[in-house]
A and B are shown apart, each in its own frame.
Chain A
Amino acid sequence: MSVLVYIENTDGQLKKSAFEVATYGKDIATQLNTEAIALSIGDISTDELSKLGAYGISKVYHVTNDDLKTFVNQAYASIVAAAAKQENASVVVLSNTFSGKGLAPRLATKLEAGIVSGAISLPTINGNTFEVQKTAFSNKAIATVVVDSAVKVITINPNSYTVKEVGGSAALENFTAPVQSSDFSTVVKDIVRATDKISLPEAEIVVSAGRGMKGPENWSMIEELAEVLGAATACSKPVSDAGWRPHSEHVGQTGIVVSPNLYIAIGISGAIQHLAGVSSSKTIVVINKDPEAPFFKVADYGIVGDAFTIVPKLIEALKAHKGN
């Protein structure tokens, strides 16, 4: 028996989510009195993969060949399923990222495993029965899911599990990929990634703005604030619907759900649909000229006033803070 964790990388770098799944997998393995093994697919250096040892991973399997440099969910699912079988894994842990969502349900189907996606805490384990808490109703609720299938697949929400270094080192081994040509029926033609921008779902700080900004031409101060904080930028639904900002920045019930350490909402009133997407943020700051804006009810800190005067002052204050 073992716990298998699937490790994602971006351009050969381990993402924060990789350390989150490693820690989560290790913590389950400890409860089950077994070991946590990792599997990585694609181009990544052995030095980078060795870092997982410090998070309690005892062995890292690495699969790479030219066909697997880009994400192909059928092929990746075949490989993770084969590794799970070889290692007799009773639990497979993935991150609930965009790729994780394409991969985990296929994997669960191959393994006939019960799957919990969007877990936010460690399972309560009672024999073969796991109870896992996950977000539901787009962050308006938490559901406790019971799984008692022989194999279980759990995907954890980014930023919801604290990474822990426990010391240790991992053995690295190549894993031979049992893939067939039929596993490659989707082909990645191109990848467009803004490398200078911070990925919104994984960001620790998010600066988000709404209709109060009056128009897309006023976003430079939002971007500057984000840059000073090392934050990702986001927006409300009306803003992306109006085409002021791309859909990929829309945070809320029908957009991206985020749980950063700090969420700064500027000129967003706080409709229930928007709050659903941000309510699991650890700290929320609201800047709005309307003291009655519903967002203040769920905020930790607030400033009532005009964003066009407050944001530049905030940028200066943060620059001074960083300078100290």
Chain B
Amino acid sequence: MKILVCISNVPDTTSKITFTNNNSEFNTAGVQYIINPYDEIALARAIELTDAGTSGTVTVITVGDASTEATIRKALAIGANDAVRVDALPSDAWFVANQIADYAKKNNFDLILTGRESIDYNGAQVGAMVAELLGLPSVSIAKGLAIEGNQARLEREIEGGKEVVSATLPLVVGTAEGVAEPKIPNMRGIMAARTKPLSVVEPIAVQPLTKINNYSTPPARGNVKLVDENSINELVNLLHSEAKVI
């Protein structure tokens, strides 16, 4: 089985998010980058499904400049067989999806995995766009993924429960918690990652359809009003008369 895992290079979850250049750009100063946590789940499942890359191959792809290579090497250290970097800034989901679809079309994968969404722009768009561009089925928020032959059995998250979905490969899946536990690279993996193939490809010409103009941070809250633990009724009254939420 040939699996393509699409990874995003995102700020670490503990990062303080600030902006520069008149709030038009994300401030990367001092920010540590990681593999998008949902993409790590996808990668871990891909490695499991190919018996650690022995009964199949796991290729990771990212769209980004050379600064993303540390993140790509980490994916190789975790266990991907090889990697592709499309040498362009990921300007919007449409641009990224077209790059990935173009690469996937030329390389015939049985399974294309993405995380359910990236934790930076939270679009949850690329996976389903890639599927549509390739004319493939997709499941956007999978909590479970099993493959038997060319059949996939998935659990899809729905409001208040789950759906069990079957599909025939090739298929695009957006993975969420429950699909696999992220893997931590070991020393052997880290050593091996240095020599695994990482190819850099030129982007195809695509016009982005959206652009971010500026950023703001959500308004800060006022100071907390503390209620004594022996006057719980006061909290109930505040929630009723002041906050008007009960």
A binds B: yes
Query: A residues bordering B, Cβ < 8 Å?
Result: 10, 15, 70-71, 73-74, 77, 96-99, 101-106, 108-110, 112-118, 131, 134-147, 149, 182, 185-195, 197-202, 205, 229, 240, 247-248, 250, 253-255, 257, 261-262, 272-273, 276, 279-280, 282-286, 296-306, 309-310, 313-314, 316-318, 320-321
In the assembled complex, B51 has its CB within 8 A of some CB on chain A: no
In the assembled complex, B55 has its CB within 8 A of some CB on chain A: no
Q: Is the CB of B161 within 8 A of A314?
A: no
| A142 cross-chain contacts in B, Cβ below 8 A | 215-218
Q: How far is the CA of A138 from the CA of B159 in the complex (A)?
A: 19
Q: Is the CB of A145 within 8 A of B129?
A: no
Counting chain B residues whose Cβ lies within 8 A of the other chain, the interface size class is 35 or more
Provide a sorted-by-A list of 17 A–B residue pairs whose CB atoms are within 8 angstroms: A71-B163, A73-B138, A101-B124, A102-B139, A115-B123, A118-B122, A118-B123, A142-B217, A145-B212, A193-B161, A199-B159, A247-B143, A248-B157, A285-B239, A302-B227, A305-B229, A317-B233
| A317 cross-chain contacts in B, Cβ below 8 A | 232-233, 235-236
Q: Is the CB of A117 within 8 A of B210?
A: no
Q: Is the CB of A283 within 8 A of B239?
A: yes
| A146 cross-chain contacts in B, Cβ below 8 A | 210-213
In the assembled complex, B120 has its CB within 8 A of some CB on chain A: yes
Q: Is the CB of A188 within 8 A of B211?
A: no
Q: How far is the CA of A105 from the CA of B210 in the complex (A)?
A: 13
Q: Is the CB of B213 within 8 A of A131?
A: yes
Q: Is the CB of B225 within 8 A of A302?
A: yes
In the assembled complex, B198 has its CB within 8 A of some CB on chain A: no
Which of A117, A138, A229, A261 makes the CB contact (< 8 A) with B119?
A: A138
In the assembled complex, B240 has its CB within 8 A of some CB on chain A: yes
In the assembled complex, B140 has its CB within 8 A of some CB on chain A: yes
Nearest B residue to A191 by beta-carbon distance?
Answer: B163
Q: How far is the CA of A160 from the CA of B67 in the complex (A)?
A: 36
In the assembled complex, B113 has its CB within 8 A of some CB on chain A: no
Nearest A residue to B124 by beta-carbon distance?
Answer: A101
| A199 cross-chain contacts in B, Cβ below 8 A | 159-160
Q: Please give 15 more A-B residue pairs, beta carbons under 8 A apart, in addition to A117-B123, A300-B225.
A: A102-B156, A106-B128, A108-B94, A109-B133, A136-B212, A145-B211, A185-B137, A194-B161, A248-B157, A262-B246, A282-B245, A283-B245, A296-B224, A299-B221, A318-B236
| B117 cross-chain contacts in A, Cβ below 8 A | 101
Q: Is the CB of B140 within 8 A of A101?
A: yes
Q: Is the CB of B229 within 8 A of A143?
A: no
Q: How far is the CA of A262 from the CA of B246 in the complex (A)?
A: 8
| A112 cross-chain contacts in B, Cβ below 8 A | 209
Knowing A98-B141, A102-B141, A317-B233 are in contact, say whether A189-B218 is a contact too (CB < 8 A). Answer: no
Do most interface residues of chain A lie in helix, strand or loop, or is the interface mixed? mixed
| B159 cross-chain contacts in A, Cβ below 8 A | 10, 15, 97-98, 199-202
Q: Is the CB of B128 within 8 A of A115?
A: no
User: In the complex, how many angstroms separate the beta carbon of B159 from the nearest chain A beta carbon?
Assistant: 4
Encode B11-40 as 1/0 by CB contact (under 8 A) with A: 101101101000000100000000001100
Nearest B residue to A313 by beta-carbon distance?
Answer: B232
Knowing A109-B97, A321-B236 are in contact, say whether A192-B164 is a contact too (CB < 8 A). Answer: yes
Nearest A residue to B176 by beta-carbon distance?
Answer: A247
| A254 cross-chain contacts in B, Cβ below 8 A | 13, 37-38, 119, 177
Q: Is the CB of B177 within 8 A of A250?
A: yes
Nearest B residue to A286 by beta-carbon distance?
Answer: B224
Q: How far is the CA of A105 from the CA of B108 in the complex (A)?
A: 22
Q: How far is the CA of A10 from the CA of B131 in the complex (A)?
A: 26
| A197 cross-chain contacts in B, Cβ below 8 A | 160
Q: Of residues 90 to 139 in B, which have CB atoms within 8 Å of A's CB atoms?
A: 92-94, 97, 116-117, 119-129, 131-133, 135-139
